[in-house]
Amino acid sequence: MTETVHKLESFLSKDNQQQGVILAKNIGTDYSYKHTVVWQNVIGFVILHVLALWGLLILVTGGIGINTFIWTIFVTYLGAEGITTGAHRYFTHRTFKATPLCRAILLTLQTLAGQNCMFIWCRDHRLHHRYSDTDGDPHNSKRGFFFCHMGWLMHKKHPYVIELGRRIDMSDMQSDWMVMFQKKYYYPLYLLLAIFIPMYVPVHFFGEHWWNSLLVCYFLRYVYSLHGTWFVNSIAHLYGTRPYDKNLQPVESWFVSVVTLGEGWHNYHHAFPWDYKAAELSNFINHSATFIEFLDMIGLAYDLKTASPEMVLNRIVRTGDGSHYLLGDEETRKAVTAWGPLHPLNPTYNSTLKPPSAVLKPEGLPLFHEKDVLNLKISRRSASTA
């Protein structure tokens, strides 16, 4: 069944027919391949971080007022929801349905976050899920912490990332005029929503100096939000447990969930990428799930998808590593230890659990629930014969 679904999904994109890079029979990580450094990106990130540290210095030395500080936190939160709820759980994984007003709000918040246009963000993330932790993954964690955290943005893409990225089905995004409008006018929208408005409000309403406002409300906020997203690619793929599927590289990390409003329950999310909670529980360090439930309550979101308890239970029993908080065993839980809080940034953190090899077939992993894939195939076939 799963193999059939893989084949069906791999042929949904017309790009699958074109000639391109010849793929290996199995896609893993070729450690002999050396990525080419893009030095202009390196210099750009260095400048970005220097200015962010300057903003942090202004913040901790009292260089801005309390109103500006509260405003910065508020804007940071809005941008975070634009990524977690908007780009990730709605536009990439379609874990719920949204009204046109909701889509417009989420697109605006994602632009505020400033992490590329929605189309490119979702394409790269779908590619990440389909070829997770292999050379087809833009931020392959098998290349080490720095590469999957931010180094991948400082290197040329692996040929597999380019070729397989062309094959990702983006027809749902291409048919959405709001997404394509944002893609076409992303840079002016970015200047307005991510830089000008966050900086202008403290200057105009709180009497803040424009330079201090720019350093704190843009550069510091932006770099903080970037690292929050990057933590999901790095920490949540390297340091933690795999209670739902030990064959998947991503792990559970409560630390990452704290930083990202609930995106750190990553082993569950990769096991069930179409679940709106991106976690087994919606009320445990998972504010974005609560936010989606709020959108549902006020009528902006509907048809929230989630894995049934039976489905989750079967997955834990069948493929889990034994560390589940209820269904795991004490021996496996003891394989992960630390003095004090158990999280990856604790220097005493230690785990004897072995990560999987992460070798996939060329068709990769499914992005949606199997029923969604089959229904999509059936609807397309019906349309073509009409």
pLDDT means over runs of 10, the chain (386 residues):
40 43 82 95 98 98 96 98 98 96 98 97 96 96 96 96 93 96 98 98 97 98 97 94 94 93 95 95 92 97 94 94 89 83 76 86 74 44 41
Q: Cβ distance 297 to 222 under 8 Å?
A: no
pLDDT (0 to 100) of residue 368: 65
Q: What is the pLDDT of residue 20?
A: 57
Q: How high is the pLDDT of residue 192?
A: 98
**What pLDDT shows up at residue 366?**
78
Whole-number pLDDT of residue 340: 78
Tokens 């609930």, located at residue: 262
Per the rule left: phi > 0, alpha: psi between -120 and 50, beta: everything else, 284 is beta
DSSP for 111-122, please give it: HHHTSS-HHHHH
CA angle 88, 90, 95 (to 5 degrees): 105
- Would you say the pTM of this structure is higher than 0.95? no
**Closest of 230, 236, 175 to residue 383, by C-alpha:** 175
Q: Return the pLDDT at 63.
A: 95
State the pLDDT at residue 343.
Answer: 74
Q: Which of 104, 99, 258, 66 is nearest to 193 (CA)?
A: 104
pLDDT of residue 344: 72
